[in-house]
Chains A and B, each alone.
Chain A
Amino acid sequence: MASPPIISGLPAGLSLVNVAAPPYNLLIEDANAEVLRKDVLYRPTGSIQGTIVGVRINNTQNPNAKVWLKMWDSDDPVVGTEAPPVILRCRAGKITEYYVLVPFKYLSYQVLVTPGTKGTTAPTKPVSVCLAIRA
């Protein structure tokens, strides 16, 4: 079956405008964010730093485990020792969305079962994460 056209025509009186600076232009969809992801993106310093603008954590596969998504502005973080500048909670069996503004140069992340800096234990079941990024 042929795909429908995206825009087949606008009613009279409406206009279509291209957004010059959309809130985000990259989406990272990770079905196994309980695995440490190192150096996912790298943006050189200066005016083209990347910015995380939205985060969605899906912890519905862990009905008994609260989890925390931790992010490091580092290409090779030491999990459990290196303090993560970003920590975002998601309750057991829940989906949590955050609208944030987090600039980064490097991006590494992992979902773990302890808040704060300490802890290296990942949840037993997969946790999916979606990151909306402007880069």
Chain B
Amino acid sequence: MTGMMPSYLTVGGGQFDPWSLGVFEWNDIRGLPPISNVVAAPARLASVLYSGTDAMVPQDAFFKVYEKASPDPLVDGPDICLPFIAGEAFAFDGRPPGFSMREGDVNGISDGAYFDWISIFTSLNPGTDETVNPITSGQIPAGMTVIPVDLTSVPL
């Protein structure tokens, strides 16, 4: 299971061009192990979209994000867990399942939320998947957008 990544993004400790958005795309995000170290360097996770049809995802399932380099779904609790419904390629309002996030403080909020690492996993169980129940049938294409943490660190 390998994401189709721009050249400046690599799985497992790579660097990305701090001037650019990072966009990851996968044809299928099901199965074990979790997709670890999608982003190894700190980055701001901005959005994730995923999809599935009746034939692809016959059961309700859960998309999870871990702020860990190599999460173990048996024991690690996900930092983000969101459900998606069986057959919902375009759930509610025609929008695909997924989420976007923003983060800040009392001085203002900007796109994306800071993560030291980003790893992802989809499963049939919510929360901490203590029986590790991966999705074994169908297909779930997905995409993720991350933003560099600190543009000011780039020398001019």
* Residues in A lying within 8 Å of B, measured CB to CB: 23, 51, 60, 68, 83-89, 91, 93-103, 114-119
Could you give 6 example pairs across A and B, Cβ below 8 Å?
Answer: A84-B127, A85-B126, A86-B83, A87-B78, A103-B92, A115-B76
Residue contact A89 to B80, C-beta cutoff 8 Å: yes
Residue contact A116 to B101, C-beta cutoff 8 Å: no
**Cα distance A85–B129 in the bound complex, in angstroms:** 11
B91 neighbours in A (Cβ, 8 Å): 101
Least Cβ distance of B29 to chain A in Å?
A: 18
User: How many residues of chain B have a CB within 8 Å of chain A?
Assistant: 33
Residue in contact with A84 in the complex, picked from B99, B104, B126, CB distance below 8 Å: B126
**Cα distance A103–B104 in the bound complex, in angstroms:** 27
Residue in contact with B105 in the complex, picked from A85, A95, A97, CB distance below 8 Å: A95
Least Cβ distance of A50 to chain B in Å?
A: 11
**Cα distance A15–B151 in the bound complex, in angstroms:** 41
B106 neighbours in A (Cβ, 8 Å): 60, 95
Residue contact B85 to A115, C-beta cutoff 8 Å: no
Per-residue A-contact encoding for B76-102, CB less than 8 Å = 1, 0 else: 111111110100000111010111111
